[in-house]
Structure 1
Amino acid sequence: MKTEPFWWDAARPEPTEIALPDGPSDVLIIGGGYTGLSAALTLAKRNLSVTILDMEMPGFGASSRNGGMVGNLLKPGLTGLIGSYGVEKGCAIYKEALASVEFIAARIREEGIDCDLTLSGRFYPAILEKDLARMTRDFECRQRYLDVPEEMVGADSYGEDVDSSGYKGGLRQHHTGGLHPAKYVKGLAEAAVRAGARVIAPLRAEAISRTAEGFSVMTAKGELQGAALLIATNGYTGGLLPFLQKRIIPVGSTMIATEELSENLVSSLFPTKRMITDTRRMLSYYRPSPDGRRVLLGARPTVFPASPEVQAQSLKKTLDGIFPALEGAAVSHVWSGYVAYDFAAMPTIGAHEGIYYAMGYCGSGVAMSGYLGHKAALKILGDTDGETAFDDLPFDGRFYYSGKPWFLTPVMIGYRLRDYFGF
């Protein structure tokens, strides 16, 4: 069993090992994942000089570790957004999520990125009747205000989505889908470099300081200068900028991939090849591999730190519960990574003391990260098309949080208890 992403078998992140620029860049970007690379591509196409730093390799973090699910649901749901911000603002926020899927599909097409993008949809199965009722309310709200192409299905009608018993029904989407995340981030990096961006990795940004001309970033190889600075580190933000460290919460997630299976077996489990995300508080997300030969599942398998082997065993038990037909299948890969939340459970984009940032995708960043990276680039350019409905939303910290999420363990224990007892 490999303890690295299955996705790396086809597209392993690689170091770039290039020299620092001779002079200042128009824009420095810290973080070489979807957000930073998308921003760099937009900026380079506007003829700005761009330098990206990543402490590992381009796409090494969540960008090549995630489930490759292209979605547009926001955690609060449209009903929650309208309840908090009113109809006009709530719908405007939700439209950003809808636009993110259209954007990523267009960018992949325009740049000729071969990443197995398939917009076959997604299904959200309801574990409990109350989950189905909640999903139905939000579905009806979206239909009323946004006319999103999706439908609710009952317990006797979801068989085309997933061959697993016990669900109460769920939400079926027709306009979302999946891709190969490591191929996507590799293609995005190649597109950014082709447009003229400089990607230097591995190289850690050690400190940020202001200069008369903009910003300086100190590294082990020397100092870089830039007129503008974008932080695009999401779940790997750390303490480089305390403002973000106190507001962004890294949350771990683990995935497994099965050994190769027969295509007939996998297609029988996923007849329409839709992505699947259930309604547990400790949710599971699962899908067929792009080649239709494996099943991949992700979740937060253990409350306390555990070895990859223990996590794989826990996730395999979950997978077997969903698909008894896979009980004899071995796990070929297990790997982990970090997503990022903020306290509003919403994506965030903006600037603090002149430093731009975009992050906090709450585990749903495949589409939103590239979209907000593009929007952040437009903000740097002073282009009004960079305005988003997220711009004026609260991005607050908490007095009890300084960057170490000590509260995640009791929260996850509570979630597990609620999932177990069904409340």
Structure 2
Amino acid sequence: MKFDPFWWDIDEPIITETSSDGLLAEADFVVVGGGFTGLSAALTIARQGRSVVVLDSATPGFGASTRNGGICSGNIRPSHSALSKTYGPAFADEVYAEGIEARVDLAKFCSEEKIDCQLQMTGRFTGAMGQSDYDAQAREVESLNNISGHAAHMVPKSAQHTEIATDLFFGGMVREEIGGYHPGKFFAGLLRTAQSAGVVIYSDTTVKDVTDLTPSKKSVITDKGTIAAGKVIIATNAYTGTKERFGQFLRRRLVPVQSCIIVTEILG
């Protein structure tokens, strides 16, 4: 059974050289975890003129950053209508507006850093399974189109072949501002950008513990040595361990969220 994403075989995008020198003795910031979160934080810090080291127990990007489906929706699971009902329309608007800002920021970053990751806002079709589902989607479309930046419309069953080559659905909803990208190629570009900004990255370096060195410094203990840091950022996501003290602290504060990706033949 194969567990690696098929696009690793197609492009091998994340094989980028990391530091082979010995571990630095000290840095302003040490980031534990070399995925999207860790490298984005490191890049932001480095561009503020601070020294930053990223430590990854495997290859940077080995986890979810290059295993995701590359869908750029910027949304959370609850619909705008559900959020409005629970938390109020103003909060729902803020959440969905932030999703738009995230997509705009991603496109801007790729353009400015010249990252060719096949980013395309092609739109997303969500099929309705019946009349009640279709009616609920229609209400969602009305809510979304009242938020600046959203562009959604309904497609009746009679016209759904313009979106997808199946008769399974009872029509559906199209959101035009959603698209996708190649996560591996994007990560490779992010990694190169971070390195160009002065971020020092170490692969195959496992953090064993983080302790207080002085009142203003931390000691990051790894299997390759120890590095002193003014600040430590833990960006290990689902790879946060249970043996390390910092891992035990964080895992009691993490909420697991399951996500599945299903790949099919092209449906049209």
The aligned counterpart of 1:82 is 84
Secondary structure at the aligned position of 2:146 is classed as helix
Using the TM superposition, give the Cα deviation of residue 252 of structure 1 relative to its aligned residue in structure 2, in angstroms: 6.0
The aligned counterpart of 1:234 is 237
The aligned counterpart of 1:23 is 25
**Structure 1 residue 249 and structure 2 residue 250: aligned?**
no
Q: Do the aligned residues in 1 keep the contact of 2:42 with 2:194 (CA within 8 Å)?
A: yes
The aligned counterpart of 2:179 is 177
What are the ranges of 5 or more consecutive residues in structure 1 without an aligned counterpart?
259-265, 271-423
> Deviations 1:193-224 (Å, cap 9, x if unpaired)?
01110111121222222332232222101112
The aligned counterpart of 1:4 is 4
Query: Partner amino acid for 1:157?
Result: A
Using the TM superposition, give the Cα deviation of residue 179 of structure 1 relative to its aligned residue in structure 2, in angstroms: 0.9
Secondary structure at the aligned position of 2:258 is classed as strand
Using the TM superposition, give the Cα deviation of residue 168 of structure 1 relative to its aligned residue in structure 2, in angstroms: 1.5
Structure 1 residues 233 and 137: CA distance shift in structure 2, 3 A:
farther
The aligned counterpart of 2:169 is 167
Q: Which of 1 and 2 has higher RCO (CA within 8 Å, sep 6+)?
A: 2
Using the TM superposition, give the Cα deviation of residue 71 of structure 1 relative to its aligned residue in structure 2, in angstroms: 0.9
Using the TM superposition, give the Cα deviation of residue 257 of structure 1 relative to its aligned residue in structure 2, in angstroms: 7.1
Q: Separation in 1 of the partners of 2:262 and 2:157?
A: 27
Aligned match of 1:219 in 219, 222, 234? 222
Structure 1 residues 255 and 145: CA distance shift in structure 2, 3 A:
closer
Q: Do the aligned residues in 2 keep the contact of 1:17 with 1:202 (CA within 8 Å)?
A: no
Query: Partner amino acid for 2:161?
Result: G
Query: Partner amino acid for 1:249?
Result: P
Q: Separation in 1 of the partners of 2:26 and 2:184?
A: 30
Query: Partner amino acid for 1:67?
Result: G
Q: Percent identity?
A: 32
Using the TM superposition, give the Cα deviation of residue 227 of structure 1 relative to its aligned residue in structure 2, in angstroms: 1.5
Secondary structure at the aligned position of 2:250 is classed as helix
Q: Separation in 1 of the partners of 2:46 and 2:5?
A: 30
Secondary structure at the aligned position of 2:134 is classed as helix
Query: Partner amino acid for 1:242?
Result: Q
Structure 1 residues 219 and 153: CA distance shift in structure 2, 3 A:
same
Q: Do the aligned residues in 2 keep the contact of 1:122 with 1:176 (CA within 8 Å)?
A: yes
Aligned match of 1:153 in 141, 152, 155? 155
Using the TM superposition, give the Cα deviation of residue 147 of structure 1 relative to its aligned residue in structure 2, in angstroms: 5.7
The aligned counterpart of 1:193 is 195
Q: Separation in 2 of the partners of 1:65 and 1:234?
A: 13
Query: Partner amino acid for 1:229?
Result: V
Structure 1 residues 177 and 141: CA distance shift in structure 2, 3 A:
same
Matches within 5 A, 1:13-92: 13-14=14-15, 16-92=18-94
Q: Separation in 1 of the partners of 2:129 and 2:170?
A: 6
Q: Separation in 2 of the partners of 1:74 and 1:62?
A: 17
Q: Separation in 1 of the partners of 2:257 and 2:204?
A: 21
Using the TM superposition, give the Cα deviation of residue 163 of structure 1 relative to its aligned residue in structure 2, in angstroms: 0.9
What are the ranges of 5 or more consecutive residues in structure 2 without an aligned counterpart?
none
> Deviations 1:53-97 (Å, cap 9, x if unpaired)?
112111111111111111122212222222333232332222111
> Deviations 1:301-357 (Å, cap 9, x if unpaired)?
xxxxxxxxxxxxxxxxxxxxxxxxxxxxxxxxxxxxxxxxxxxxxxxxxxxxxxxxx
Structure 1 residues 87 and 254: CA distance shift in structure 2, 3 A:
closer
Q: Separation in 1 of the partners of 2:130 and 2:22?
A: 55
Please, what is the CA RMSD of the aligned residues? 2.3
Q: Do the aligned residues in 2 keep the contact of 1:216 with 1:224 (CA within 8 Å)?
A: yes
Query: Partner amino acid for 1:76?
Result: P
Q: Do the aligned residues in 2 keep the contact of 1:236 with 1:250 (CA within 8 Å)?
A: no
The aligned counterpart of 1:203 is 205
Q: Scaled by the length of structure 2, what TM-score is found?
A: 0.87
Q: Do the aligned residues in 2 keep the contact of 1:6 with 1:257 (CA within 8 Å)?
A: no
Using the TM superposition, give the Cα deviation of residue 113 of structure 1 relative to its aligned residue in structure 2, in angstroms: 0.7
Q: Do the aligned residues in 2 keep the contact of 1:16 with 1:202 (CA within 8 Å)?
A: no
Q: Do the aligned residues in 2 keep the contact of 1:49 with 1:196 (CA within 8 Å)?
A: yes
